A and B are shown apart, each in its own frame.
Chain A
Amino acid sequence: GAVVSQHPSWVICKSGTSVKIECRSLDFQATTMFWYRQFPKQSLMLMATSNEGSKATYEQGVEKDKFLINHASLTLSTLTVTSAHPEDSSFYICSAPRSRLAGVGRDTQYFGPGTRLTVL
């Protein structure tokens, strides 16, 4: 079954509004989560690394004031697209690493089902 969930699955909004996307790890704690963006027929591009209890780390070219990330708990990270515009329309995917062995936190990355954002 799914170990990482995202909500909502699909959102359509008007230009200028803000949209919040949630990423939850189910049955495990994730101190780190990753947010990716995927445009049609393109690969995944890492936007930012979400860290529980501290500020997110953004990749070059990603506006931190536009894409607000809050890692509120060990099982929840949120991405808020502020003042969304049509060019922000994309497929947003989060992932979280799950330790299979103590101290080995990098073996398995679980991806959420994605959130399709359409900005009119």
Chain B
Amino acid sequence: ELKVEQNPLFLSMQEGKNYTIYCNYSTTSDRLYWYRQDPGKSLESLFVLLSNGAVKQEGRLMASLDTKARLSTLHITAAVHDLSATYFCAVLTYSGAGSYQLTFGKGTKLSVIP
């Protein structure tokens, strides 16, 4: 059974600071997603990482993937209040016959304090 673990689950940080959220997964996959969720809302796609060593950046967020270590990171640079949300990683696995599914981590609730 695939396990996806995020660390930390809760994060409170001051504006302007940097931090990294980690996502470990337990089985082989070369496709990993990061999503943002605001309270009461659905998921907003941030990044899809398709191969080992992939790095993507959008604004103050940068995501990377190490498929050998089964680890993805989401790095926050110079945090601002608008980044406060819950961040999920999700791993794609194939279950045969063309079917697949996403397994989500528990999420990291980020609060950026002015």
Binding between chains A and B: yes
Q: In the complex, which residue of chain A has the Cβ closest to the Cβ of B35?
A: A111
Q: Do A109 and B102 contact each other (CB < 8 Å), given the known contacts A44-B88, A93-B42, A114-B42?
A: yes
Residue-wise interface mask of B (78-93) relative to A, using a CB-CB cutoff of 8 A (1 in contact, 0 not): 0000000000101010
Residues of chain A lying within 8 A (CB to CB) of residue B48: 107-108
Pairwise interchain contact B104-A113, C-beta atoms closer than 8 A: no
Tally of contacts, chain A with chain B, CB under 8 A: 46
Interface size class of A (residues with CB under 8 A): 20 to 34
Residues of chain A lying within 8 A (CB to CB) of residue B31: 106
CB of A46 within 8 A of chain B? yes
Pairwise interchain contact A108-B101, C-beta atoms closer than 8 A: no
Residue-wise interface mask of A (32-51) relative to B, using a CB-CB cutoff of 8 A (1 in contact, 0 not): 10100000011111100100
Residues of B bordering A, CB below 8 Å = 31, 33, 35, 40-43, 45, 48, 50, 88, 90, 92, 99-107, 109
Task: Pull 24 A–B residue pairs with CB atoms less than 8 Å apart, ordered by A.
Answer: A34-B102, A42-B106, A43-B88, A43-B105, A43-B107, A44-B88, A44-B104, A45-B104, A46-B103, A49-B101, A95-B102, A106-B31, A106-B92, A107-B48, A107-B50, A108-B45, A109-B102, A110-B45, A111-B35, A111-B42, A111-B43, A113-B42, A114-B41, A114-B42
